[in-house]
Amino acid sequence: KAGVTQTPRYLIKTRGQQVTLSCSPISGHRSVSWYQQTPGQGLQFLFEYFSETQRNKGNFPGRFSGRQFSNSRSEMNVSTLELGDSALYLCASSLATSGSSYNEQFFGPGTRLTVL
Amino acid sequence: DAKTTQPTSMDCAEGRAANLPCNHSTISGNEYVYWYRQIHSQGPQYIIHGLKNNETNEMASLIITEDRKSSTLILPHATLRDTAVYYCIVRGRYNNNDMRFGAGTRLTVKP
């Protein structure tokens, strides 16, 4: 079956702009998580959505937000872009239901955002 | 913050076993050990996970010490395509899906 897809794969923006990234999870997966990866900070958890609700949130400013639709597709938005927001943004989906003891996550290829 | 410690880098000869260690001395009783790897420019890929017993699948084996304070991921016959960054992650049994990645180990398989 198809894997996690992310669009666009590459994006260039300038400071102060906003950006929306999209993630389509594996069919049947209800949990979608977002991560930011930079050379300096590594992989950092942004937030997780499950059944259209944000279930968990990492330590990022309010400029980073997300949402999930009824078909489990998810978007994340970054407003007022800063140079430091340049990163690879990864989306991961999981079957996990609430309280599941096995939460294997499947990652997409990522969206590489460059802020100039 | 990551709850694991891994060597920064390791080398392995092609065809030999690659043994990647991970320390997780503060692991609690209901926490699992997960391993993922990330090949350059791709998203992380799940490898294996375990609680206290040794585990094996088609990709690798996971050996967890009896006190559960450390573990070793074993790739039995490393190939050049196994060159990647390997992440050891500790997470709760009923945790939500926030994976706390550390810096990982950069494994280079050499011909």
Which residue of chain B has the CA closest to A39?
A: B103
Write phi, then psi, for A93 (nearest 5 degrees).
Answer: -120, 155
As a whole number of angstroms, the distance between CA B93 and CA B25 comes to 17
- Residue B104: closest CA among B1, B7, B27: B7
- Residue B48: closest CA among B10, B88, B2, B17: B88
CB atoms under 10 Å from CB of B92, counted, come to: 13
Token digits for A110?
A: 């990522």
Q: Could you read off the pLDDT tens digit of each residue along chain B, which spans 111 residues? A: 568 999 999 999 999 999 999 999 988 888 889 999 999 878 999 999 999 889 999 999 999 999 999 999 999 999 999 999 999 998 876 555 667 788 899 999 999
As a whole number of angstroms, the distance between CA A107 and CA A54 comes to 18
Among A18-32, A82-96, A97-111, the minimum mean pLDDT is found in A97-111
Regarding beta strands A10-13 and A111-115, do their DSSP bridges make them parallel or antiparallel, or are they unpaired?
parallel
Please tell me the distance in Å from A31's CA to the nearest CA on chain B.
8
Which residue of chain A has the CA closest to B2?
A: A44
Chain pair A-B, CB pairs under 8 angstroms: 63
CB of A101 within 8 Å of any CB in chain B? Answer: yes
Contact between B98 and A100 using a beta-carbon 8 Å cutoff: no
Contact between A43 and B101 using a beta-carbon 8 Å cutoff: yes
Question: Chain A residues with CB inside 8 Å of B41's CB?
Answer: 109
Per-residue confidence (pLDDT) for residue A98, from 0 to 100: 55
Contact between B97 and A43 using a beta-carbon 8 Å cutoff: no
Per-residue confidence (pLDDT) for residue A100, from 0 to 100: 54
The b/e string for B8-41 (b: 16+ C-beta within 10 A; e otherwise) is eebebeeeeebebebbbeebeeebbbbbbbbeee
User: What is the number of H-type helices and E-type strands within chain A?
Assistant: 0, 11
Contact between B95 and A103 using a beta-carbon 8 Å cutoff: yes
Return the SS3 of A84. Answer: helix
Contact between B96 and A48 using a beta-carbon 8 Å cutoff: yes
**Nearest neighbour of B103 by CB, restricted to A42, A101, A107:** A42
